[in-house]
């Protein structure tokens, strides 16, 4: 899906996230709480609009894959300059843009424009962290995999097939140079999980180019174009397989040196999400939410499978598999989810668009589910909810376990489509400010999608039976363990093996998912944003609805929250509550007795420390 995880993290969720744009400066929706803060100063409207337009045009030129994905197809086939010199030019440009945006002081902007300035600056700060501070360009294949994804040309019918084939040939022609730059950057030694991601990703590209892409363009009759494609395809396969082979060759020297460290991890949260909270406070909030969900799971299982251990209770729920497999099952669920939203009047559905469901392509199966949504400049194109099959190399039992039960899949479908990512982008793409359509952050998008799972259960989805509750809770526990694993792996000395065990023990994941999730925590340190975003949204809902009708105000809250596009949630809080941007997490009430009663699996909140670690995606 489109998101703020540019360059470094887009491959993990969708993995992924404006010349001639109309200069629209309508403010974000005003509430009674923030209209009084408008400045009496005369705003520099024309100058500000020109600055934003200039930033967007420059951004597309410096990050052409983002431009093409947004629907600016003059950038089709172009790849970034991954060389150190190319990255440095991008860094320098971003710093120049940040200075130019910051030069618009409060005295030159009205209140809505000051919010816009802070939103633009937040996007720049997030991008600069991944380029300058993370170190990922020199060790993390995830930094590159999102930009290399060919999905747009194959799965998005934005132009006739011949035109997309020509763009794809241009893209393939650019791959050998990109591969050469990437190999030079990834000198090694590299963390083991990074190497495995790169082998899977780059090798998956090669396999996909060889086995699937020629079939996609087979019906094109232009002989010259077919010849050009064949030549570029051969070199693309060689370049991607060469990268995979290179990483395989350095695997004997693999390390476990993946941790960002506490200082850099905190800087990541501040730069990318505007969250400036002490790590011990963040960890305590995650432990409390894990304990709350484990206690709720114990209660639901007492009703659904009384007397049986929690793991057996979940196995019983997951044994009820969707008819025809996960893809067919998800297709059957979407209509009912949409109708439930309408019947319960939970949030506005601003359009008639629908999402398709397809099997994930081989190069992007490192997570169970994700959605690709056309950019805001595209018109009348489908969004696709992708579901990955189990790895055929796994044992048969692990393959069977990887396919979720119907209740689990229901909340995955809610997360990805109704009312999660798909609905959120229906709102974002209707924002009056083009910038807000283009830049949607990780915690905003994933926090909203995860928040909606619990919200839908609370509203009575499918009768809110114990079985349905268990499906919702298993998704919540997965994100709880991601949250604690991210903190533990990068700031607390947690090992990959300890994280994997935590996913088994606290999130009740099967071995295949547990391996994937623990590994993902090393190369996607921001995957705590699912729970982090959810906790910020829950606290904001509690605070905002306290003076806007309580539970009856949920629809108004949802509509207003979704109207901002996708900035860091603390900025949204500042707009909806009045005052400065602030990160504030909802903290679950203490549930120690209930958790202790659940036995070993729920005895004590999980710790990110290595001596206590126990415990699908963009899902």
188: confidence class by pLDDT, cuts 50, 70, 90: confident
First to last CA, the chain: 10
Pairwise CA distance, residues 138 & 190, whole Å: 9
- State CA 273 to chain mean position distance: 13
Q: Determine the pLDDT at residue 391.
A: 85
Residue 602 falls in which region: left (phi positive, over 0), alpha (psi -120 to 50) or beta: alpha
618: confidence class by pLDDT, cuts 50, 70, 90: low
Instruction: Tell me the Cα Rg of the chain.
Output: 23
Residue 61 confidence (pLDDT) above 90: yes
Pairwise CA distance, residues 535 & 450, whole Å: 10
Beta bridge partners of 370: 386
Q: Determine the pLDDT at residue 363.
A: 66
Contact 220, 161 (CB under 8 A): yes
401: confidence class by pLDDT, cuts 50, 70, 90: confident
Contact 386, 370 (CB under 8 A): yes
Type and span of the H or E element at 1: none
Q: Determine the pLDDT at residue 16.
A: 29
**Could you tell me what percent of the chain has a pLDDT over 90?**
81
Q: Which of these, 85, 70, 62, 73, lies nearest to 7 by C-alpha position?
A: 62
Pairwise CA distance, residues 516 & 281, whole Å: 27
Task: Give tens-digit pLDDT for 146-171.
Answer: 999 998 998 889 999 999 999 999 99
Residue 27 confidence (pLDDT) above 60: no
Beta bridge partners of 383: 355
In the three-class reduction of DSSP (H, G, I as helix; E, B as strand; rest coil), residue 374 is classed as coil
Residue 380 confidence (pLDDT) above 50: yes
Contact 517, 509 (CB under 8 A): yes
Residue 88 confidence (pLDDT) above 60: yes
Which residues make Cβ contacts (< 8 Å) with residue 245, sequence separation at least 6? none
Pairwise CA distance, residues 3 & 16, whole Å: 6
Overall size of the chain counted in residues: 619
Q: Determine the pLDDT at residue 610.
A: 27
What's the whole-number average pLDDT of the chain? 89
Task: Give tens-digit pLDDT for 591-617.
Answer: 544 333 333 333 333 333 322 222 233
Contact 390, 402 (CB under 8 A): yes
Question: Taking residues 389-414, what's their average pLDDT?
Answer: 91
DSSP secondary structure of 296-359: HHHHHHHHHSTTS-HHHHHHHHHTSPPTT-HHHHHHHHHHHHHHHHHHHT-S---S---EEEEE
Q: Looking at 37-46, 179-188, 412-421, 597-606, which range is the least confident one?
A: 597-606
Which residues make Cβ contacts (< 8 Å) with residue 241, sequence separation at least 6? 202, 203, 206
Residue 565 confidence (pLDDT) above 60: yes
Residue 37 confidence (pLDDT) above 90: no
Respond yes or no on whether the N-terminal peptide bond of residue 189 is cis (omega within 30° of 0). Answer: yes
Contact 251, 197 (CB under 8 A): no
Pairwise CA distance, residues 125 & 127, whole Å: 5
Q: Looking at 315-329, 363-377, 394-408, which range is the least confident one?
A: 363-377
What is the pTM (predicted TM-score) of this model?
A: 0.89
Contact 44, 104 (CB under 8 A): yes
Q: Looking at 146-155, 219-228, 550-559, which range is the least confident one?
A: 146-155
34: confidence class by pLDDT, cuts 50, 70, 90: very low
Contact 210, 270 (CB under 8 A): no
Task: Give tens-digit pLDDT for 475-517.
Answer: 999 999 999 999 999 999 999 999 999 999 999 998 888 999 9
Contact 307, 393 (CB under 8 A): no
Question: Taking residues 43-63, what's their average pLDDT?
Answer: 96
Contact 357, 341 (CB under 8 A): no
Can you list the pairs that 495-499 forms with residues at least 24 positions away whose Cβ atoms lie under 8 Å? 495/256, 495/610, 495/613, 496/192, 496/193, 496/256, 496/521, 496/522, 498/610, 498/613, 498/614, 499/613, 499/615
Q: Which of residues 2 and 528 earns the better pLDDT score? A: 528
Residue 400 confidence (pLDDT) above 80: yes
Q: Looking at 58-72, 497-511, 515-529, 583-597, which range is the least confident one?
A: 583-597
């Amino acid at each position: 899906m489109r998101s703020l995880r540019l360059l470094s993290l887009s491959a993990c969720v969708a993995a992924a996230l404006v010349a001639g744009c109309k200069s629209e400066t309508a403010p974000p929706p005003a509430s009674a709480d923030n209209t009084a803060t408008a400045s009496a100063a005369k705003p520099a409207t024309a100058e500000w609009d020109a600055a934003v337009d200039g930033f967007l045009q420059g951004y597309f030129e410096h990050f052409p894959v983002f431009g093409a994905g947004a629907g600016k197809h003059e950038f089709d086939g172009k790849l970034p300059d991954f060389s150190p010199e190319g990255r440095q030019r991008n860094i320098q440009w971003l710093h120049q843009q940040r200075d130019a945006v910051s030069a618009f002081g409060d005295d030159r902007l009205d209140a809505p424009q000051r919010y816009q300035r802070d939103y633009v600056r937040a996007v720049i700060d997030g991008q600069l962290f991944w380029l300058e501070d993370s170190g990922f360009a020199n060790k993390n294949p995830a930094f590159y995999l999102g930009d290399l994804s060919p999905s747009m040309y194959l799965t998005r019918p934005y132009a006739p097939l011949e035109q997309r084939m020509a763009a794809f040939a241009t893209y393939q022609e650019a791959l050998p140079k990109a591969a050469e730059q990437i190999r030079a950057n990834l000198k090694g030694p590299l963390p083991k999980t990074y190497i495995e991601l790169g082998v899977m990703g780059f090798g998956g590209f090669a396999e996909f180019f060889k086995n699937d892409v020629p079939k996609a363009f087979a019906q094109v009759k232009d002989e010259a174009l077919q010849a050009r494609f064949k030549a570029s395809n051969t070199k693309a396969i060689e370049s991607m397989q060469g990268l995979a082979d290179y990483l395989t060759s350095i695997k004997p020297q693999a390390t476990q040196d993946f941790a960002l460290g506490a200082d850099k991890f905190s800087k990541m949260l501040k730069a990318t999400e505007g969250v400036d909270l002490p790590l011990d406070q963040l960890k305590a909030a995650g432990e409390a939410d894990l304990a709350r969900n484990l206690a709720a799971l114990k209660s639901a299982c007492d009703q659904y499978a009384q007397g049986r251990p929690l793991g057996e209770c979940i196995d019983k729920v997951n044994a009820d598999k969707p008819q025809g497999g996960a893809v067919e099952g998800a297709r059957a669920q979407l209509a009912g989810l949409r109708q439930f939203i309408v019947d319960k009047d939970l949030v506005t559905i601003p359009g008639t668009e629908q999402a398709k469901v397809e099997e994930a392509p081989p190069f992007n199966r490192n997570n169970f589910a994700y959605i690709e949504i056309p950019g805001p400049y595209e018109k009348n194109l489908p969004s696709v909810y992708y579901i990955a099959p189990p790895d055929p190399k796994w044992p048969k039992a692990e393959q069977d376990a990887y396919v979720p039960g119907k209740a689990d899949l229901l909340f995955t479908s809610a997360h990805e489509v109704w009312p999660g990512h798909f609905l959120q982008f229906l709102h974002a793409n209707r924002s009056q400010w083009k910038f807000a359509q283009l830049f949607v952050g990780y915690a905003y998008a994933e926090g909203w999608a995860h928040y909606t799972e619990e919200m839908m259960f609370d509203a009575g989805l499918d009768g809110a039976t114990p079985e349905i509750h268990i499906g919702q809770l298993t998704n919540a526990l997965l994100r709880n363990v991601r949250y604690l694993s991210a903190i533990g792996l990068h700031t607390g000395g947690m090992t990959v093996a300890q994280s994997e065990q935590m996913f088994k023990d606290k999130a009740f994941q099967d071995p295949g998912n547990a391996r994937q999730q623990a590994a993902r925590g090393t190369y996607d340190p921001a995957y705590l944003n699912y729970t982090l975003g959810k906790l910020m949204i829950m606290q904001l809902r509690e605070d905002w609805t306290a003076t806007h009708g309580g539970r009856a105000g949920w629809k108004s809250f949802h509509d207003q929250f979704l109207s901002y596009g996708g900035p860091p949630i603390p900025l949204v809080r500042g707009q909806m509550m009045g005052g400065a941007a602030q990160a504030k997490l909802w903290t679950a009430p203490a549930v120690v007795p209930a958790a202790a009663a659940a036995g070993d699996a729920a005895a004590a909140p999980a710790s990110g420390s290595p001596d206590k670690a126990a415990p699908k995606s963009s899902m």
